[in-house]
Structure 1
């Protein structure tokens, strides 16, 4: 299945038979830089994925030379990105529009894997950070770029980097805009895995995820969404609630039987 966006096309979605959605930023002439049409297309893609039947995992990548070069400052200066709505308006639950472009990957009910190559600057880094897992080319170039333009990271970066990037390292990178490589991204906490073919590696991980109980995968993502902020008592109860719903369910039994019978599992999608 191929999902087509509106004529301002900036993002393509292809659903594979195993339930993996391949999502691509396709503004290749500008290294997938974020202009108003790209923001709109990414939000459209997030809405489409949220309710997509049979979805089990998402691989997010950029076509062409790079993942995303960050804000297209020229187009933003012309259109006035911040003029339509005050940034303090919560237009997407707990987020404004630009924040939602990065946060929506955490809000999706299924695991999301970002495959990063080329440059991944500013808003592009924050979008990649919204994924559950980040596979990064060791030669990729990354940067927390906003201070270069007299701004602060404002696309959910602070919320998404909490718990993964060491605080003093994040401060240094934010204050200086120093570029770092994919290898350094692994050291700093921006990358999960380093691989010279990030899309292939991300797709292989996604295929493995898609072969697990999809109800359990979604339950695990809900728990991950809460555990950094909840109290110990709340986490323990949330675990119990999710597990209670899974034990003895059709998919949980199928997971056990397929392992015992050494065959591919046949799960029912949520």
Structure 2
């Protein structure tokens, strides 16, 4: 699965390596990049062979943010990004963040070099972020007299306190990977983040894809809901997981003494 702006390679274990592919421009977001990311998310969301996604940027930077000069050369581009059929759904600009949250498999983002503005909002849409200590992260929009409007406010409120989010968004201050980790924007620090991501992916492959999908959906829907709905979802999702073959496979895999090859999981049924 390859476009001019995004390269996707899926290995035989179901690990999809997704690479933003505009290294000569720091993987900045032009209209072709927006289109390619949206199409990639939609394809991976439907692909039941995919178990884990690793998202990275080609070259030295993850993503330097919006390519303002390129996007603003056409007056209709803004409307294409912001238009939506309902005020309560994501538009194209927002989907490059929120879309990753809807994919029913774990998404790991590798952050190296610059991760500014829209780039950071993409990264926030992942379930895990692994950055180098010297990475450079910023909610950059205020520098251009804008607000962050690519969906990142949803995961941001789950990661940091309100006053921290306000300061970062109002000042456009640049953070090192180390400082971002201390604030909760980054899950792990690593000198070799792609290798760290592969290790985490292998851990996740050992777990039932049904359980992983259910946990992701449960926490997304229940993080800010009332306790009653959260408890209802726990029970309902658990029943659905128990009805699937992967739960029984998980038990057999854990009870195996290692003398026989562990039975592989089947494609995720929890969608």
The interval holding the TM-score normalised by the smaller chain is over 0.9
Match for 1:4 among 2, 7, 13? 2
Pair 29,154 (structure 1): closer, same or farther in 2 beyond 3 Å? same
Whether contact under 8 Å (2:19, 2:58) holds in the other structure is yes
Secondary structure at the counterpart of residue 78 of structure 2: coil
Give the Cα–Cα distance (whole angstroms) in 1 for the partners of residues 154 and 190 of structure 2: 26
User: Is 1:59 aligned to 2:54, yes or no?
Assistant: yes
Correspondence for 1:217? 212
User: Is 1:161 aligned to 2:159, yes or no?
Assistant: no
Instruction: Kindly state the Cα deviation for residue 4 of structure 1 after the two structures are TM-superposed.
Output: 2.3
Secondary structure at the counterpart of residue 94 of structure 1: coil
Instruction: Kindly state the Cα deviation for residue 178 of structure 1 after the two structures are TM-superposed.
Output: 0.9
| CA shift digits 1:196-223 (9 cap, x unpaired) | 1111111211121122111111111110
Give the Cα–Cα distance (whole angstroms) in 2 for the partners of residues 206 and 249 of structure 1: 22
Give the Cα–Cα distance (whole angstroms) in 1 for the partners of residues 132 and 85 of structure 2: 34
Give the Cα–Cα distance (whole angstroms) in 1 for the partners of residues 80 and 101 of structure 2: 25
User: Is 1:82 aligned to 2:78, yes or no?
Assistant: yes
User: Is 1:22 aligned to 2:22, yes or no?
Assistant: no
Correspondence for 1:267? 265
Unaligned runs of 5+ in 2: none
Whether contact under 8 Å (1:91, 1:97) holds in the other structure is no
Pair 216,183 (structure 1): closer, same or farther in 2 beyond 3 Å? same
Q: Please report the RMSD computed on the Cα atoms of aligned residues, expressed in angstroms.
A: 1.6
Instruction: Kindly state the Cα deviation for residue 129 of structure 1 after the two structures are TM-superposed.
Output: 0.1
| CA shift digits 1:96-118 (9 cap, x unpaired) | 11000111000111110101000
Correspondence for 1:195? 190
Using the size of structure 2 for normalisation, the TM-score is 0.93
| CA shift digits 1:58-103 (9 cap, x unpaired) | 0000010100000011101212331336x26247971111000111
Give the Cα–Cα distance (whole angstroms) in 1 for the partners of residues 190 and 74 of structure 2: 37
User: Is 1:32 aligned to 2:27, yes or no?
Assistant: yes
Whether contact under 8 Å (1:211, 1:265) holds in the other structure is no
Instruction: Kindly state the Cα deviation for residue 248 of structure 1 after the two structures are TM-superposed.
Output: 5.7
Secondary structure at the counterpart of residue 61 of structure 2: coil
- The size of the alignment, in residue pairs, is 264
Give the Cα–Cα distance (whole angstroms) in 2 for the partners of residues 46 and 261 of structure 1: 36
Correspondence for 1:13? 8
Q: Which moved more, 1:75-84 or 1:144-153?
A: 75-84
| CA shift digits 1:122-145 (9 cap, x unpaired) | 000000000011111111001110
Q: Which moved more, 1:62-71 or 1:256-265?
A: 256-265
Correspondence for 1:42? 37
Q: Which moved more, 1:116-125 or 1:172-181?
A: 172-181
Secondary structure at the counterpart of residue 93 of structure 2: helix
Using the size of structure 1 for normalisation, the TM-score is 0.93
Give the Cα–Cα distance (whole angstroms) in 1 for the partners of residues 221 and 79 of structure 2: 33
Pair 13,92 (structure 1): closer, same or farther in 2 beyond 3 Å? farther
